[in-house]
Amino acid sequence: MALTGAQTYSASQREQIYRRNFIFFLLDNILFNVAMGLIGTTTVIPDFVSHLTHSKILIGLSGSLFQIGWMLPQLAIARYIIRANHKKWWFVGPNIPVRFIILIFAGIVMWLGKSQKEAILVAFLICYGLAAVGDGVVGVPWADLSGTSLDGRWRARMFGLTAAITGLVMLALSPLIGIILSDAGPGFPNNYAWLFGAAGILFALSILPISYVHELPGGKAVEVTPSIVEFLPQLGHVLRTDAPFRAMIATQMLTILFSMAGPFYIGFATGSLGLSSDVAVPVLLAMQTIGAVIGALFYTWLGAHNNLLFIRLALGGALLLPISAFLSSAFGPLPLYLGFLVSGITLSNLLYGFSNWVVTYASPDQRPVYAGLFNTMAAVVSLAAPFIAGTIAQRLGYNALFAVALAMGCVALFVTLRNLF
C-alpha cells in the first residue's frame, strides 16, 4: 500500500525509495550534463562566440553566462517555495518550456546564416541567458528535492556516477564534435547549430525523469510567504551566526574567480599556441572528459565518506591548470593537455561537492534558504567575473589572467583548510 506524505517511513522503506529515486535523478543529471557537454562552457561556447565577436569581455561572459543566470533567481525562488510542502512540481513545471530554448536557438542559427553574425550573437545571449535563468528557477526546488528524497550516500553516488557516465559519453562524442567543427563538417554557423540542436533534444528529454521521483516529506512549510522586510534579516542572521556556511560561501566565490579564466584557455590554445579550433576543442574536451571520469569515480567513493576532504583535494589539484598554461608557453601544448586532464579530475566535480555540502549541512526547514542564499551570493561574483577576466585578458594578456586565477585558487584552498572542519 502506498504511503502518504504524513506517514512515517521505516528505514528499509526509505532505503527502497532512495534506490528508486536514485535512478531517476541519475537519468535527469546524465541527460542534462551530456547536453551541457556538447556545448561546453570552456570549449565549444567560447569558441563559437569568438567567431561572432573579438570582444574578450563577451567571450569571457559566454563561458560564465549560464552559471550567472542559474544562480541569480534562486534566493527569490527560495522565499516562495518555503510555503510548499512538496517541491517536485516546482521543478518539473517550469522545466517544460525552459528546456526547449536551446533547441529553438539551434533553429534560429540555421535560419539566420553566416552573414548575420551580430544577430546570432544577440540571439545567443538572449536564448542562452533565458535557459540559464529558467534553470535557476528550478535550482532550489531540485536541491530541496534531492535533499529530502535521497540521503547523503545516494546523492554522492548520483553525482559521481553522473560525472563518470557523462564523461564516457562525451569521450565517445569528442571525435564527432571535432569532425563537425572541421572543414569536413557543415561549416559555420551550421556546425555549431548541429551541436546546439543535439544538446537541445537532450535538454527536452531531461524533463521526464524527475516526474517519476517519489518525493519524501521535507521541512515544515510556512503558512505565509515572508515579506522582503522579514526575509532579509533572516538571511543576515544566517550569515552572522553560521561561520562554516559563511566560509563555504567564501570558498565558492573564490573558486568562481579562479574559474573565470576557464573560457580563455581555448583562446590561449588557438591564439598563443597556434592550434586550430578543430584540434584544440576536441582534444582539450577529451582530456577534460577523461579527467572528469576519473574524478567522478573518486568522488563517488570519497564524497560519500568525506565530502569536505574531496573539496580540499579538488581545489589543490585544480591549481595545476593555470600552472600548465604557463608551462605551455615555454614547452608547447602538452602541459595544457595535462592541465585539462587534471582539471577534469578536480574542478569538473567540485560543484557537486559544494552542492552536496550545502544540502547535507542545512536542516530540512532551512534547506531552500541555504541553497538559495549560497547560489545567489555566488551569482554576484559570477556576474562580475567575466568583466574582470575579459579586462585583464584584453589589457594585460592571458598570462596575467592565469596568474590572478591561480592566486584566487590558493586563497580558496586556504579558507577550507583554515575555517572548515
List pLDDT tens digits, range 127-161: 999 999 999 888 888 888 888 889 878 888 898 88
Domain hosting residue 116, numbered range: 15-217+225-419
Q: According to the model, what pLDDT value does residue 4 have?
A: 40
More confident residue, 299 or 416: 416
Nearest Cα residue to 375 out of 72, 125, 48, 137: 72
Residues 72, 198: Cα–Cα separation, whole Å: 27
Q: Is residue 1 part of a domain?
A: no
Q: Is residue 2 part of a domain?
A: no
Q: How many domains does the chain have?
A: 1
Q: Is residue 148 part of a domain?
A: yes
Classify each residue of 28-40 as buried b or exposed e, where b means 16 or more C-beta atoms within 10 Å of its C-beta.
bbbbbbbbbbbbb
**CATH number of 309's domain:** 1.20.1250.20
Q: Is residue 71 part of a domain?
A: yes
Per residue in 332-378, pLDDT (tens digit) is 888 998 998 988 888 877 888 898 898 888 887 788 888 888 888 88
pTM (2 decimals)?
A: 0.73
Q: Exposed, middle or buried: residue 21 (CB in 10 Å: 0-12, 13-18, 19+)?
A: buried
Q: Give Cβ neighbours of residue 70 (< 8 Å, ≥ 6 apart).
A: 132, 133, 135, 136, 139, 375, 379
Range with lowest mean pLDDT among 118-122, 244-248, 264-268, 317-321: 264-268
Q: According to the model, what pLDDT value does residue 246 have?
A: 93
Q: What angle do CA 238, 133, 26 make, to 5 degrees?
A: 85
Per residue in 184-239, pLDDT (tens digit) is 889 999 999 999 999 999 999 999 999 999 988 766 655 566 666 667 777 888 88
Q: Is residue 6 part of a domain?
A: no
131 phi and psi, to 5 degrees?
-60, -40
Q: Is residue 5 part of a domain?
A: no
Nearest Cα residue to 68 out of 344, 346, 307, 263: 263
Per residue in 287-307, pLDDT (tens digit) is 887 888 888 888 888 877 888
Q: Is residue 384 part of a domain?
A: yes
Question: pLDDT at residue 328 above 50?
Answer: yes
- What number is the average pLDDT over the span 375-399? 86
Q: Is residue 213 part of a domain?
A: yes
